[in-house]
């Protein structure tokens, strides 16, 4: 066993577990490995002795985080610090997933890794604190910032739009927030690729990298694509209209960045992993949803 996956019961964790053979990896859900308990984390890593840990565990309820700040910081800031220190003791490298929401959304270009951070909501602040905790505790780490993750499992935008399109005759979706939709399957494959290179003994550049889907899209355009593809696959009897609205017309507890597009140049030049086409992942996600439909 060379790879340990934490948070294996979540959206990304399930994609990782599906792709990793048991002989190569141990995939532990939160119930089997609570990252809040430092003694359990240290004991688990000492027992399993992984070469690489992929941390797919996170608190991702962006709006709820505004009133659950302590929970968000415990999961997204304190737990990664605990895990990083345990990795340092065990001699393991750490692959950690972070977010586009560490930025403030005001940029003339796609966000690069060395651009100044400035989160505008609690979720983003907690994820940035997690990055900082890892960087201060463990030299051998890679932080992968991603965005707008979706897949066939868990709560995400694709599944929400599909449900609402079945329930309503039309949708009203925010059109003035632009980002990088990312299929959890593509993200999982990239993390596994990096983990295997580390486990093979290759010395990598321990850095922050951006990896997210392309092309850039607004939530509205993303929703339109979901409805079109769902109709094409027979998941919807008709392609319901999707009306563009301003963020002000759909207030939420947490502010969202208006511009959340990530620049994937560093990842592409360093590892040959270019931004993937999220539309391919969307088709696969909806095919999986169709397969689950009775």
Q: What is the pLDDT of residues 193-215, one digit of tens each?
A: 999 999 999 989 999 999 999 99
DSSP assignment of 146-173: E-SEE-SSSS-HHHHHHHHHHH-S-EEE
Q: Which residue has the tokens 């499992």?
A: 153
Nearest C-alpha neighbor of 175 from the set 214, 212, 224, 215: 224
CATH number assigned to the domain covering 3-156+181-213+261-276:
3.40.50.720
Beta-bridged to residue 178, according to DSSP, are: 218, 259
pTM, two decimals, is 0.96
Nearest C-alpha neighbor of 180 from the set 219, 144, 131, 130: 219
In this prediction, residue 146 carries a pLDDT of 98
Q: What angle do CA 123, 219, 63 make, to 5 degrees?
A: 25
In whole angstroms, what is the distance from residue 96 CA to residue 141 CA?
8
5 membership: H or E segment, kind and range: strand 3-6
Cis link prior to 28 (omega < 30° from 0)? no
Nearest C-alpha neighbor of 135 from the set 182, 169, 88, 170: 88
What are the residue ranges in the chain where pLDDT is below 70?
Answer: 1, 293-294
Q: What angle do CA 11, 177, 162 make, to 5 degrees?
A: 45
Q: Specify the DSSP class assigned to residue 74.
A: I
Give the Å distances, CA to CA, from 120 to 66, 105, 126, 158, 291: 11, 8, 11, 24, 38
Q: How many other CB atoms are found less than 10 A from the CB of residue 293?
A: 7
In this prediction, residue 1 carries a pLDDT of 63
In whole angstroms, what is the distance from residue 128 CA to residue 184 CA?
21
CB neighbour list of residue 108: distance below 8 Å, 6 or more residues apart: none
- Residues designated catalytic: 123
Instruction: Check: CB of residue 33 under 8 Å from CB of residue 44.
Output: yes
Calculate Rg over the CA atoms of the chain: 19
CB neighbour list of residue 18: distance below 8 Å, 6 or more residues apart: 188
């Amino acid at each position: 066993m060379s790879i340990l996956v934490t948070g294996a019961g979540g959206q990304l964790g399930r994609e990782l577990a599906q792709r990793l053979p048991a002989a190569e990896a141990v995939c532990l859900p939160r119930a089997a490995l609570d990252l809040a308990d430092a003694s359990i984390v240290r004991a688990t890593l000492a027992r399993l002795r992984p070469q690489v840990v992929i941390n797919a565990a996170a608190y991702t309820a962006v709006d709820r985080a505004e009133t659950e700040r302590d929970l968000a910081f415990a999961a997204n800031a304190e737990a990664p610090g605990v895990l990083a220190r345990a990795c340092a003791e065990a001699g393991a490298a750490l692959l950690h997933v972070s977010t586009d929401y560490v930025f403030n959304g005001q940029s003339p270009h796609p966000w690069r890794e060395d651009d100044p951070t400035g989160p505008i909501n609690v979720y983003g602040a907690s994820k940035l604190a997690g990055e900082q905790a890892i960087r201060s505790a463990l030299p051998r780490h890679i932080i992968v910032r991603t965005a707008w993750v979706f897949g066939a499992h868990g709560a995400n935008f694709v599944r929400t739009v599909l449900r609402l399109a079945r329930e309503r005759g039309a949708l009203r979706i925010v059109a003035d927030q632009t980002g990088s939709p990312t299929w959890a399957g593509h993200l999982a494959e990239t993390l596994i690729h990096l983990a295997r290179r580390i486990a093979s003994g290759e010395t990598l550049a321990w850095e922050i990298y951006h990896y997210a889907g392309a092309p850039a899209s607004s939530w509205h355009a993303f929703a339109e694509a979901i409805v079109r593809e769902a109709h094409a696959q027979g998941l919807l009897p008709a392609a319901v209209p999707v009306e563009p609205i301003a963020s002000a017309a759909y207030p939420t507890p947490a502010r969202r960045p208006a511009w959340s597009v990530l620049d994937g140049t560093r990842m592409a030049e360093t590892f040959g992993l270019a931004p993937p086409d999220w539309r391919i992942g969307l088709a696969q996600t909806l095919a999986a949803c169709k397969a689950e439909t009775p």
